Amino acid sequence: MTFSRIAVACLLLAGSFPLYTYAQNTTDSHKNLKALDPSLMDASADPCVNFYQYACGGWAKQNPIPADESSYGRGTELDDQNQLVLKSILEKAAAAGSGRTPNEQKIGDYYATCVDTAAINQAGMKPLQPVLERIAALKSKSELPEITAWMDSIGIGTFFEFSSDQDFKDATQQIAEFDQAGLGLPEKGYYDRTDEKSVKLRQQYKEHVANTFVLLGETKEQAAKDADTVLKIETELASHSLSNVDRRDPKALYHKMTLASFDSSAPGFAFTTYLRARNAPDVSSLNVVVPGFFTGLNQVLASTDIDDLKTYLRWAAIRETPSTTLPQALDVESFNFYGKILEGQPEQQPRWKRCARATDRALGEALGQVYVEQRFSPKDKQRTLELTHDIEAAMGSDIDQLAWMSPETKTRAKEKLHDVANKIGYPDKWRDYSTLTVERGDAFGNAQRAATFEEKRQINKIGKPVDRGEWGMTPPTVNAYYNPQMNDINFPAGILQPPYFDPRQDDAVNYGDAGGVIGHELTHGFDDEGRQFDGSGNLKEWWTPEDEKKFTERADCVVKEYDGFVAVDDLHVNGKLTLGENIADLGGLKLAFLAYLDRAQKAGVDVTKKGDAGYGNLTPQQQFFVAYGQGWCQNNRPEDLRLRVQVDPHSPEEFRVNGVVVNLPEFQKAFACKTGQPMAPPNRCAIW
């Protein structure tokens, strides 16, 4: 899927569900998940000392990380349940024969072909051979625009990324956009850090690249030389790229210019020729996200000989091809680095899971339509909408009482809040896959055609009005997001079930868990990035200078707090990288609690009265916080934590709980914590 160049703010971790998943050992079983389960708590822990341990200590003991996972948490539990549902849908579609609908044929044959490893192994490298042969036939650098355009069009990314996006200054229109890309390691810092672990990881990456070239038929000596070439080119590209922290500033990502001006800024690569070869619509102006990257790319192309560029393109062809379509040896080699070394995952995942995910990525709304029919009713949608309206009302009241914000900015903030669009469950209009051909038995071709379909769909948006009904996640996804350019909050059906939304349990539980999810996404519209966009989705100054200064001072408090958390070994949480998510966690839970208090008052509920054993004898306000905490129960491998701390804008789960409640006086009151205890510090960070 393609999101805005702005990091669309998601609730859960990008790494919660492995990208490199490859094995045969997971037991297919359903769990009875609950939003609040007292058996998952650690009653021996003091909630005022370590609330995360108190809420999740029992869960952590009961749920060691499976061998085929790099981490395991409540989101993984739910995702496993969803995968079983998708497996049933896909196996039925695969076996249904000639009586299937067009979409059933597509999802069924895509999945059936993906799980047929014998056929994929038998085909070997033959499906990829046309790509490799075209690279080998490259005679001069002047041919680079045509070949990279062709590779990009079939989903094989090369030196940069080209797509469409909403114009930052006119959110009603889609424009062309060029952005940095081309790296095999997670982000630029992996290429220049000099600590022992980083140096070792680069060596392991180089060995992985060399091993891959050997599997393509090269001698070990040539493969080692080519791996050096790849690392050299990627290191140079990384040096001209923005870091993931720098990319958090929307103003740093908007540089609108004419095509002629852009083309002349990098004379070593004819972008006009590239666009023609991509069959892009007429482009008069475009956004160059990182101009310095393309200046640097021009230098790299000028200083690198054609044979080395061909080596890089061969590596890109393998790196960007889904490993589910490649022979087992290449598939396993990819896992050995990206799964085992980078994420610490000991074993591969079941093939069926990998193929269910691959089908969801390729045909998400065709598969999602069937999923929704089975798992998400109109009643579920209405319940979620009511909860969302309560959280939005709480935010309106919260804005009114902010002592640090001027009346002028408050008025504009409430205008933006009023304009937020709520998308719940699934799109109002399903995507049309009629032009996508899926052939049983052609795994590589199916993946390539699906990538071509999506690339073409994105590029065809250029010059057209924005479709505000479009979704960036598929319905079965266990996640949620806010898009600042759309000014919408999006909750796929996949997350709107236990343990995140549980209609069997009381309001206190659902406001603490599902309400926290909703409040989190809503607050993203007013975090350090989202606040820079107005209610229509335009990058626009709508704050007074004094209010902006006060916001920044409060945000700096959050940065310093999270900078102090040690995630693993010698690595601290990056407070600047995680700022938006931390603000959303803190503001979102506060809003959810305010909304719950209002609901409880209307229902005549005494929030200080202890409940029954089914709720751990907790008061309703304590139930609220424990439900929130249990939504983040997770065990992580140290390798996975190291990766996340360096690339992920979300803090580790422990700090998404303890780092939030320490800033809420409502929590201190609910558990009668004494000021000065770890969860009740005398000084707090507060924005919303």
pLDDT at 3 over 50: no
pLDDT in tens, 22-64: 233 334 567 899 999 999 999 999 999 999 999 999 999 999 9
Residues with Cβ within 8 Å of residue 134, at least 6 apart in sequence = 147, 150
- In this prediction, residues 178-197 reach a mean pLDDT of 97
Alpha-carbon span 199 to 189, nearest angstrom: 11
Predicted confidence band of residue 98 (pLDDT cuts 50, 70, 90): confident
pLDDT in tens, 288-315: 999 999 999 999 999 999 999 999 999 9
Task: Say how many C-beta atoms besides its own lie within 10 A of residue 258's C-beta.
Answer: 12
pLDDT in tens, 341-372: 999 999 999 999 999 999 999 999 999 999 99
Alpha-carbon span 311 to 241, nearest angstrom: 21
- Largest separation between any pair of C-alpha atoms in the chain: 78
Q: For domain 44-64+376-429+476-670, give the fold.
A: Collagenase (Catalytic Domain) (3.40.390)
Predicted confidence band of residue 18 (pLDDT cuts 50, 70, 90): very low
pLDDT at 6 over 70: no
Burial of 122 (0-12, 13-18, 19+ CB in 10 A): exposed
pLDDT at 17 over 60: no
Predicted confidence band of residue 598 (pLDDT cuts 50, 70, 90): very high
Task: Say how many C-beta atoms besides its own lie within 10 A of residue 460's C-beta.
Answer: 14
Boundaries of every domain in the chain? 44-64+376-429+476-670, 125-325
- 125-325: same fold as 44-64+376-429+476-670? no
Q: Output the pLDDT for position 8.
A: 64
Alpha-carbon span 301 to 308, nearest angstrom: 10
Strand, coil or helix: 320: coil
Pick the CATH number of 125-325 from 1.10.1380.10, 1.10.1060.10, 3.40.50.10260, 3.50.50.60: 1.10.1380.10
pLDDT at 188 over 90: yes
pLDDT in tens, 231-244: 999 999 999 999 99
Q: Output the pLDDT for position 26.
A: 37
Alpha-carbon span 479 to 496, nearest angstrom: 9
β 634-636/9-10 pair status: unpaired
Predicted confidence band of residue 612 (pLDDT cuts 50, 70, 90): confident
What are the E-state strand segments in 366-456? 421-425
pLDDT at 15 over 80: no
Alpha-carbon span 579 to 393, nearest angstrom: 24
pLDDT at 14 over 50: no
Predicted confidence band of residue 10 (pLDDT cuts 50, 70, 90): confident
- In this prediction, residues 489-517 reach a mean pLDDT of 96
Q: What is the DSSP letter of 251?
A: G
Q: Output the pLDDT for position 12.
A: 63
Strand, coil or helix: 438: coil
pLDDT at 385 over 50: yes
Q: Output the pLDDT for position 284.
A: 85
- In this prediction, residues 565-578 reach a mean pLDDT of 96
